[in-house]
Chain A
Amino acid sequence: MKRRPIKDGRQEAALFLRRALVGFLIIFVCLVVLGFRFWYLQVSQHAEFQARSDANRILTRPLAPARGLIYDRNNVLLAENVAAFRLEVIPEQVADMDALLQGLRDTIGISDDDISRFKALVKTKRSYQSVPLRLKLSEEDIALFAVNRWRFPGVDVVPYLTRYYPKGVEFGHLVGYVGRIDANDVERLDASLYAGTTHIGKTGIEKSYEELLHGVPGYELVEVNADRRPLRVIERVASTPGKNLYLTVDTRIQEAAEAAFADRAGASVAIDPRNGEVLAMISVPSFDPNLFVNGISQTDYNALLNNPDKPLLDRALRGSYVPGSTVKPFIASAGLELGLRKPSDTILSTGEFHIPGQKRGYRDVRAGGHGRVDLVQSLAQSVNTYYYALALDMGIDKLTESMAQFGFGKPTGIDLAGESDGVLPSREWKRAQKNEPWYPGETVIAGIGQGFWVVTPLQLAHGVAMLAAGGVSHRPHLLLATQQGIGDAPVAAPVEPGGTSYFKDPSNWQAVREGMIAVVNGPTGTARRMGIGFPYVIAGKSGTAERFSRTNEVWQHISQVAVERHQVLFEAFTPAEKPRIAVVVALEAGRGGSTDAAPIVRTMMDAWLHDEPDALTEPPKTMDAGR
């Protein structure tokens, strides 16, 4: 259709007027129809709807399920539900809220925190709904309130179940805690499943197994009067409590480790190499999870946040440690498996290593060198030159690939949220992070676990467990079994089969093990003292790294103290012949891996002995006794 050049404005206006009139007429008719519909419902059908409205008096009230309990592998209770009482207020029945709060404050004591939380909560509920004001009343509070009850209409003491962690600090990071459901939780939760629930797992096991622990709510049908007061319960469907969990951890090892750390910042992980069960996992310093359950006070929270040692950081999962010499057994394994070395091959350590054609020297720990060393001696004495040369022969790409097979540079997949990746040095990583090419010197120091290397204690423990199991990897996990009710038989959690062994040739693994045994038991071993008096042969390796954050203000004052300017690690497994426990200890400040970290490993292994059914009946001698 052709467009005519001139638009006729007057004709368009007239056309619009006609259309507007038609439009208004249609609108008018539609609204009249709607009005008739209202008349039909409100007048013609009024009696019926009035009757149905009157019958609308039955409400469904959710019944929250009891949360599952958490035990360690020996039935030690780690998380339970305890009966408690809280003060609740029905805002509708209160004439003067401020006066009431002041009165209660004078009678039984209510903190500002409680009041501000209460006021926020009141806004989210309707005025006839009861709102908790103060949780965890003491018996004295209850008595005091009972005497003064007449003064406070609309206020009541209500029983409820609250979460309690009997072991407190020791399992702060591992078991985690529950906290009140917040706005973020509401968005992602299934509203009908959480209808009556006030708390949800926020961290640790409480979070990862929320689904198992929570249970299924029940409900009751309640008849109410026009003011919504309940008259009687018509029907009741009980809730199904959440499952009880048995964890793989052993409280005795956990407690022994906690004590041995003696408040020094660091972390430790113990794993059963045969199946990946985590026997202990601690991060020091820790915090009391009980503080968080009913809302942590601002003062307590600030104290945790402002503590320079960061108690809220789970060092086992998220701590960053330069592994140092603890990577040597892994590098040695790779060298053997790749066919670059035979166990009997020797290297001359002169005290300084040079990349052919380069001036820069890379040093050994002992000035003047260790002389000619084979694989076993390279581990026993921690000879850097052996690994400088091996890494250079291997090249960074093969090194990266081999270490990735031991699980470095990626999360282990443990059943806890928030694991760090760590850093496995590679060309790709450096390109992505720094946009720089890779230099051969960086390969050299990667061979002794320095440079870009960063591991988490859990990663290292997983790697050691894999070595101990002859190269078979098991995903570290914490769930041992679940149990429907207290009387029921626990059901073992499904066990994933381990992968195929890293070692194509078992004699390679035996050579590395021999080296690690020599670290603890050989005449030249760096950790000769730790194995004394222990009934089994221990295999281990120390690691000591310069603190990487020496410019950090927090560490500034410590770095003046020469003895504590290192980050120290020790990795070990025992019995060396048929390993049943692999342990890693990382300390953020210490003199050396063998001096400071190894004794903690030993203490944990001593604690583990008590649980071993086939351990010696005679109590093991402690380190001091054996000296």
Chain B
Amino acid sequence: MIATGLLASAVRSGPPAWLRRSFGRAALAIVLPLAVLLVWTASARWGWLPQQILPSPIEVWQSFVDLAGSGELLHHTDVSLLRVVYGFAAGAGAGLLLGTAMGLSPTVEDYVKPLFTALAQVPTLGWIPLLMLLVGIDETLKIVIIAKAAFVPITINTAAGMRAVPRGLVEVAESFRFSRFQLLRKVAFPAAVPQIFTGIRYGLTHAWMALVGVELLASSEGLGYLLVWSRQMFWLDQMIVGMLVIGLVGLLMDAILGLVEARLQRWRVAGL
């Protein structure tokens, strides 16, 4: 990226200002990682820190190549992603339903909210030992924990979004004699999308974190397991690879959600 950027600016006689600006930004942004890499390499080269505390960047790279080449890395990533997809889908589906019901009907909210709030107070991690005793340490445990992690923020934000639908919009819909379903589909949902999306974003972040947590505690595959296993073997190079992949996947998921959100909200800009 940087290399092609350099090339581009060298070839063109006068790059536009925005390109120069973003190039300047990228150059500045890369300084710190480069400096860290430099100190890290130096430290490995002259042995400032023992290998077991900080392996050299080359070892980390080698470890990445090995893990990727053997297909092991892909396998762990695959397992983790699938767990998140199932758990998140279950949690998000339930959260959207309950959040919509709570946001639109004060009666449902009266009945459900205190129980929901009480259960939501216990951190996701707290439920793991209880569920281990109840459902064992199989896939079910992971899916339930991930679903719970996504469920809470999505429910809260969906309910808040639905509650905040402007009264005027609802009145217009009523004067057009919209059915309940039409009201939901054409008015309430579109108006609540930004808030719902905030919930979905939090939900996905929490789900990803819960996945790592549950895999650290009870799993024999997946990225979290890769970390535990590396920790036990004192293979720090492999552990760092695992952490980087976890970060990268998190970044990608967030970016994809950002794109979906922008697309869902296009009409806002176009309409106003």
The answer on A and B forming one complex is no
